Amino acid sequence: MSKEELKKFFIITNNYDDLEYLFSVIMFSAGPTIKKHKASSLITFGKNNRNLNSIWERYKNEVKERLDIDYFELKKNEESTIVLFFNKEKVGLNVRKAKNIEFLKRFGYDENMSVEQCLTLLSKRFEHMCPHEIGIFLGYPVEDVTAFIDCPNAECKMVGYWKVYHDIEKAKSIFNKYDEIKYTIMRSMMQGIKPTKLLKIKL
């Protein structure tokens, strides 16, 4: 997408009312998750621009009613709220994969925990830092997450939605799909379709 297209997109979304603006941010940032191609997406609602933190607090119940995915507030204070938007089934499959759960055990998770229990533990670990295992919840390959943690000086092969250390071709395919979804969402808004209407359209 060109700079001119981006500029036009931001002009359009900035003219939305608060509810539509909130959904525009969610749709753009979590589009691949909303469209069921990604396990989850992380969004920080802060006080910059239109005070999204306040808008989120005001409309989050309506967001829950309209979205066909779940959300979990991982960290919250007066300045911002960090929210994980997720497909429960996909996250459940991710955390229960044998190689993933073996990795997660390093941080206190176990195979008997429900998705909600895993997210509660993740939230507790968010109190002090952004825990590296968030990558598993976001659907990143455990090999890349492990390399990022255990080999901090290793040079990655590519940077996209995550740092890629291993299967670059598979990662490229995934990144391209995510980008395609986000571009389609942006283009639809630029054509005049409001975010709340866009939720009902199969892209």
**In this model, does residue 65 exceed pLDDT 80?**
yes
Helix, strand or coil for residue 164?
strand
Question: Which pLDDT belongs to residue 48?
Answer: 79
Residue 126 has pLDDT above 70, yes or no: yes
Q: What is the pLDDT of residues 74-119, one digit of tens each?
A: 999 989 999 999 999 999 999 999 999 999 999 999 999 999 999 9
Q: Is the pLDDT of residue 57 over 90?
A: yes
Q: Domain boundaries in the chain?
A: 3-198
Mean pLDDT of 17-25: 96
- Evaluate if residue 203 carries a pLDDT over 80: no
Residue 1 has pLDDT above 70, yes or no: no
User: Is the pTM above the cut of 0.75?
Assistant: yes
Helix (H) or strand (E) holding 50: none
Strands (E), the chain: 40-45, 70-76, 81-86, 158-159, 163-164
- The more confident residue out of 151 and 163 is 163
